Amino acid sequence: MNGILTETFYIKTMGCQMNVYDSDYLAQRLMAMGMSPVDNAREADVVLLNTCTVRAKPEHKAATYIGRISQIKKRKPNLIFGVLGCLAQQEGPEILKRFPAIDFVAGPRQIQDVIDILTRVAKGERGIVATALKAPPPEAKILDGYYEGKVTAFITIMQGCDNFCTYCIVPYVRGREASRPPFEILEEARSLVDQGVKEITLLGQNVNSYRWATDGSYWDFPSLLREVSRIPGLKRLRFTTSHPKDVSPQLIACFGELDNLCPHIHLPFQAGSNRVLKMMNRKYTREEYLGLVDRLRQIRPDIALSSDVMVGFPGETKQDFEMTLDLIKTVEFDSLFSFKYSDRKGTLAASFEGKVPEEEKSERLCILQEIQKQITLKKNRALEGKTVEVLVEVRSAKGDKLSGRTPTNKIVNFRPESKILGNIVKVKINKAYQNSLLGELLR
Ligand code: SAM
Ligand code: SF4
């Protein structure tokens, strides 16, 4: 029996990849204490919900899920229920008042204290609010066997953000930037590869501003990337998310030099008009962004580009929006995540005048997404008849297909063949769809 006096846990993860990493971190700590994960919240003694608050939509999703667990707790009063992540940080005690079924809340910078909190809850303590924005990030020791059978894994290399884009809640809920020591990251990456992981994605809200300095040694993001890429057995290396202002010539050079660095970069541009970029405090211009795209394509002509964009930022005019559309048509992104701007409590933009009506935002989003749909489909169709390299990641739920990704991050589905999970195979693309490609395995 462990200190929490319970046997099983279930973690529901919402939001970004950093939350996925934090949930895996916690799962490993709980398993190291002798607890077992279960597939379903109804069967668990402890339920943890890891939340997101970057836009209004994930917040509503979290509230619905909390409602569901509250119902389960009525029938199972000994269930321990904790809410973690950015919504927990943002709402703190408020969320406890609104949902009495929650036993504790802990923000993203408190993840290493959750075990301790669970022990206190097991002893009868309730209403714990852990939201101090602590640094540094926790050391992550990989549990023996946790990643066995997994092909891909994330490593969070830095936490928080110092950029304060005027629309964004992240600096408030994840705190100031704090990088992890490079030696710890390298050790973690080696352990993952030892367990059979073939692809690692380095994570940070602003991953390319990674910095570590100790006596006599200085590491920036390109130097870390180079060192990780040298790990024997690591077939693919990716990173996300990069801020355009921190894409250095050294980082661009990595795409020309590191064999296992995948030719794909996620580079959010947010808006195509310099006026809006300035109001957003993004610290680059449209021209600078396009210059970066050119330099990346010069060094790696096959590089895939994905991005984030927002419509309906306060004060965004029809002309500003046209500039965004123009940038999308100019760059021709491989894929694009597009959002309607939503006010986040406490951010500067929430107090800006000139709010764009909801209907107008929806209309702009629709126009933008239709244009991008055509671009994505055109890019995917260009692969029909071609042979691509796929790292085989998963078998479909029905077991009738295997699925993996190309170096450029496109999803490819094809008929299964035994024992090829985790291998890089050649697949001929027969049909292109909006979000994936269908192919046949070449022998
Ligand atoms: N750090 C990354 C960056 O600088 O691009 C992304 C962080 S954020 C978690 C992911 C995306 O959510 C952003 O790129 C932005 O497009 C979107 N986003 C952030 N705040 C938003 C808001 N208030 N309304 C709508 N979308 C938002
Ligand atoms: Fe938010 Fe801007 Fe930081 Fe990205 S860079 S997390 S958008 S404040």
**pLDDT tens digit sequence for 181-212:** 999 999 999 999 999 999 999 999 999 999 99
> Is the pLDDT at 5 greater than 80, yes or no?
no
Distance CA 221, CA 20 (A): 22
Tell me what pLDDT residue 443 has.
77
55 Cβ below 6 A of ligand 1:
yes
Tell me how far the alpha carbon of residue 163 lies from the centroid of ligand 2, in angstroms.
6
Shortest-distance atom of ligand 2 to CA 171: 8
Tell me what pLDDT residue 191 has.
95
Tell me what pLDDT residue 229 has.
98
Interval 277-312: pLDDT, tens: 999 999 999 999 999 999 999 999 999 999 999 999
- Work out the pLDDT band at 1, boundaries 50, 70, 90: very low
| Among the bound ligands, the one closest to the CA of 167 | 1
267 Cβ below 6 A of ligand 2:
no
Tell me how far the alpha carbon of residue 42 lies from the centroid of ligand 2, in angstroms.
36
20 Cβ below 6 A of ligand 1:
no
Tell me what pLDDT residue 400 has.
79
Tell me which residue has tokens 């986040």.
344
Interval 139-170: pLDDT, tens: 878 899 999 989 999 999 999 999 999 999 99
310 Cβ below 6 A of ligand 1:
yes
Tell me what pLDDT residue 135 has.
66
- 357 or 135, higher pLDDT: 357
> Is the pLDDT at 92 greater than 80, yes or no?
yes
Residue nearest to atom 20 of ligand 1 (CA): 168
Q: What would the two tokens of residue 223 be?
A: 């130097």
- Work out the pLDDT band at 225, boundaries 50, 70, 90: very high
- 122 or 292, higher pLDDT: 292
- Give the residues across from 152 on adjacent strands: 199
> What percentage of the chain has pLDDT greater than the value 70?
98
Residues 6+ apart with CB under 8 A from 379: 332, 334
pTM: 0.94
Shortest-distance atom of ligand 1 to CA 56: 24
- Work out the pLDDT band at 3, boundaries 50, 70, 90: low
Tell me what pLDDT residue 77 has.
92
Tell me what pLDDT residue 2 has.
60
| Ligand 2 pocket test, candidate residues 18, 158, 243, most atoms within 8 A of CB | 243
Distance CA 334, CA 316 (A): 25
Tell me what pLDDT residue 4 has.
63
> Mean pLDDT over all residues of the chain?
94
| Ligand 2 pocket test, candidate residues 54, 205, 281, most atoms within 8 A of CB | 205
Tell me how far the alpha carbon of residue 173 lies from the centroid of ligand 1, in angstroms.
13
Interval 339-355: pLDDT, tens: 999 999 999 999 999 99
The pLDDT of 62-80, averaged and rounded, is: 95
3-state secondary structure the chain: CCCCCCCEEEEEECCCHHHHHHHHHHHHHHHHCCCEECCCHHHCCEEEEEECCCCHHHHHHHHHHHHHHHHHHHHCCCCEEEEEHHHHHHHCHHHHHHCCCCCEEECHHHHHHHHHHHHHHHCCCCCEEECCCCCCCCCCCCCCCCCCCCCEEEEECEECCCCCCCCCCHHHHHCCCEECCHHHHHHHHHHHHHCCCCEEEEECCCHHHCEEEECCEEEEHHHHHHHHHCCCCCCEEEEECCCHHHCCHHHHHHHHHCCCECCEEECCCECCCHHHHHHHCCCCCHHHHHHHHHHHHHHCCCCEEEEEEEECCCCCCHHHHHHHHHHHHHHCCCEEEEEECCCCCCCCHHHCCCCCCHHHHHHHHHHHHHHHHHHHHHHHHCCCCCEEEEEEEEECCCCCCEEEECCCCCEEEECCCCCCCCCEEEEEEEEECCCCEEEEECC
- 27 or 3, higher pLDDT: 27
Interval 354-381: pLDDT, tens: 999 999 999 999 999 999 999 999 999 9
| Among the bound ligands, the one closest to the CA of 171 | 2
| Among the bound ligands, the one closest to the CA of 361 | 1
Tell me how far the alpha carbon of residue 86 lies from the centroid of ligand 1, in angstroms.
13
